[in-house]
Structure 1
Amino acid sequence: MRRKAIVKYEEYKLAFSEKRIVCPFKNFSYQNGKKVFNGKITLKVHQNSQLDKILEYPNISEFIREIYTEDFNLLEKYYNNLKAIGIKLIYSALGVIRNEEYSVLEKYLSKLNDEIFNKVQISTWGSKSFFKSKFDTKKFNIDTYFNIYNSYSLKFFEKYFNAEDITLSQEINKFEIKNILDKLKERNSNVDMIIYGHTRSMLTEYCAMGVLTKDCHKDRRCAECARSDYALKDMENREFRLFQDMFCRTEIRNHIALDLRTDIKEIFELGVDRVRLDFTYENSMMVYKILKECIDCLKYSREINDRNRFKGHYINSVS
């Protein structure tokens, strides 16, 4: 009976591709003309200290209006420092949050000024309800992990998540991006695209650092974990850096950085509103250098060295 049931289930699943799912576009109708200009470049950092050097950058708000951070340590201090030069620092919520973990997150974030959470970047469905109910969050940035892959999903998040900015999936190529944005000439949200960063390869519950520390406690990060300078090395000696969140989940980052900065003008011509630089373990000087090259390219048409740059799926998508 079990084997027969599995066969029936497999037949049902395989036949699913023959069924057509209809998502009426008219259901996404709303008033146009509400898009807010949020700059041409945005950053996302793993630690707030990575922003130290760019605070010295003259007239940085000419290109940057928002910066996203995963770090809530000294968040209010950096928020006020950036606000003084015309930039909003926006908290980026964890990639995975279990039901029982929301109360822990609230305990840390509730100590901060509620103004900081007027807008939040989210990667999970439950985050919207949490920030809306606990911090009265009005606007959201939809991060790349929602896999925005077509115009329907982009419209959906605009309407039901009140999304002011939406980051495209990193798995689509430039032709698919153009196709999506050609269909959505008039939209209320800014479309973001990541053009630099060590892409997340995996997010796992397994704590590699805990094996080394022996006395690891899940309820508090030990000093060894907090160092965040661990890596997995493969057979070709490539190093994949490891990071941990506050609940000891391990994030594995690609060994080579995606870098599309030399294509930045073409990307804007596709219809993208804003490009994003993602920083993980780069220090503040490296963040400044990469950002400055990007701004100089846009402002003065200065060329960026194109040698051996990894372009991910920009040319060829996963399909």
Structure 2
Amino acid sequence: GGDELTGFHWTEQALSEAIEMAHQSGSRLVIGLPRINREGQRQQWEPYLQMVSKLPSDGIILSDLGTLQLALEETTQPIFLNYTFNFFNSYGLKTLQNPHIRQYTLSPELTLEQIKEISRIGPEARLECLVQGPLELMISEYCPLHSLLEAGKQCGGLCRQNQYFLRDRLQLDFPIYTDQFCRLHLLNTKDLCLYGDLNRVSPVGNLVYRLELKTATANQVGFMVQEYHRALSAINKDQQLENDDFVIKEFKALTGRDITKGHYFRGVE
């Protein structure tokens, strides 16, 4: 669910089938709502929340205060809060403490040391951090594809027909996607990747690792999830991580993008 960036629309039937497949494989499935839910679009996202609330999923992930309040009033589903809530400290987490809230995703702008401190004094609910994938840099109502390529014409859905990028003065290409509300999502030119540093992250207790792969293909998702699962299993058994350089090289080959460690080890500059 959530922001539909690849053109696939999550109908009730598609969600039901995904939930069934996840549960049959011993996995959990949490359904997301869009990051931005404007008042004028209530006729779209409010019924969507009501629909997903009735499905036998393992929770709902929310990205703004409005849908959080609505979910607390109208559903008993476990609630997961997205990194868009910008949790930078334990006070923010405690402000939104509620028995229905099961997990908080921390801001990707935190350093690992700051995450350790929050996990030490924060709430008992699980904390999540992003470890893999292209992070969103910006969301905009402005569509450069329509403005530049279809000026004065009706939208022809160019965004669904090809892959587009914005190129900056350093000749770096930033992927752009549009969602079901025609909002532009600008992604980082590099993928966040902590695969080679999981042994530095794992000592932080009560931490869930999130792979942000909503624009990835099935093959990319399968390979990355498998390798992260293998690496974490090795770490849990106090075994040495092998071939991590090779795996990271494969990640780059699969996506065609370079990698970054984000702010975890250097902070925000």
- Give me the TM-score of the superposition, normalised by structure 1: 0.69
Is 2:104 the partner of 1:166?
yes
The C-alpha deviation readout for 1:183-239, integer Å capped at 9, x for no partner, is: 23xx4311111001111111111012222245345xxxx542334622111223221
Q: Which residue of 2 aligns with 1:293?
A: 227
Is 2:105 the partner of 1:155?
no
Is 2:240 the partner of 1:240?
no
Q: Which letter does structure 2 place at the counterpart of 1:284?
A: A
Quick one: distance in 2 between partners of 1:182 and 1:292?
Answer: 30
The structure that has the greater radius of gyration is: 1
The C-alpha deviation readout for 1:91-143, integer Å capped at 9, x for no partner, is: 21111111121212245566667125662111111111333455x24321111
Q: Is the Cα–Cα contact under 8 Å of residues 268 and 274 in structure 1 kept in the other structure?
A: no
Q: Which letter does structure 2 place at the counterpart of 1:295?
A: H
Quick one: distance in 2 between partners of 1:45 and 1:275?
Answer: 20
The C-alpha deviation readout for 1:242-290, integer Å capped at 9, x for no partner, is: 1112211111000000101222232121224211100143211111111
Name which of 136, 146, 153 aligns with 2:85. 146
Q: Secondary structure at the match of 1:269?
A: coil
The percent identity for this pair of structures is 22
- Number of matched residues? 248
Matches within 5 A, 1:24-173: 72-73=10-11, 74-107=14-47, 114-116=54-56, 119-133=59-73, 136-159=75-98, 162-173=100-111
Q: Is the Cα–Cα contact under 8 Å of residues 89 and 116 in structure 1 kept in the other structure?
A: no
Q: Secondary structure at the match of 2:202?
A: helix
Quick one: distance in 2 between partners of 1:239 and 1:90?
Answer: 31
Q: Which letter does structure 2 place at the counterpart of 1:156?
A: T
Q: Which letter does structure 2 place at the counterpart of 1:188?
A: E
Q: Secondary structure at the match of 1:89?
A: coil
Q: Which residue of 2 aligns with 1:195?
A: 131
Q: Is the Cα–Cα contact under 8 Å of residues 192 and 262 in structure 2 kept in the other structure?
A: yes
Matches within 5 A, 1:194-213: 194-211=130-147, 212-213=149-150
Q: Which letter does structure 1 place at the counterpart of 2:223?
A: K
Q: Which letter does structure 1 place at the counterpart of 2:130?
A: I
Q: Which residue of 1 aligns with 2:198?
A: 264
Q: Is the Cα–Cα contact under 8 Å of residues 4 and 179 in structure 2 kept in the other structure?
A: no
Name which of 254, 261, 266 aligns with 1:311. 261
Q: Which letter does structure 1 place at the counterpart of 2:39?
A: N
Q: Is the Cα–Cα contact under 8 Å of residues 72 and 109 in structure 1 kept in the other structure?
A: no
Quick one: distance in 2 between partners of 1:128 and 1:98?
Answer: 14
Quick one: distance in 2 between partners of 1:154 and 1:171?
Answer: 16
Quick one: distance in 2 between partners of 1:114 and 1:72?
Answer: 15
Q: Which letter does structure 2 place at the counterpart of 1:198?
A: P
Quick one: distance in 2 between partners of 1:46 and 1:297?
Answer: 30
Deviation at residue 88 of structure 1 after TM alignment: 2.6
Q: Is the Cα–Cα contact under 8 Å of residues 149 and 169 in structure 1 kept in the other structure?
A: yes
Quick one: distance in 1 between partners of 2:137 and 2:23?
Answer: 33
Q: Which letter does structure 1 place at the counterpart of 2:194?
A: L
Q: Is the Cα–Cα contact under 8 Å of residues 198 and 280 in structure 1 kept in the other structure?
A: no
Quick one: distance in 1 between partners of 2:226 and 2:216?
Answer: 14
Q: Is the Cα–Cα contact under 8 Å of residues 141 and 164 in structure 1 kept in the other structure?
A: yes
Q: Residues 76 and 210 from structure 1, CA distance in 2 versus in 1: closer, same or farther, beyond 3 angstroms? A: farther
Q: Which letter does structure 1 place at the counterpart of 2:63?
A: S
Q: Which letter does structure 2 place at the counterpart of 1:266?
A: R
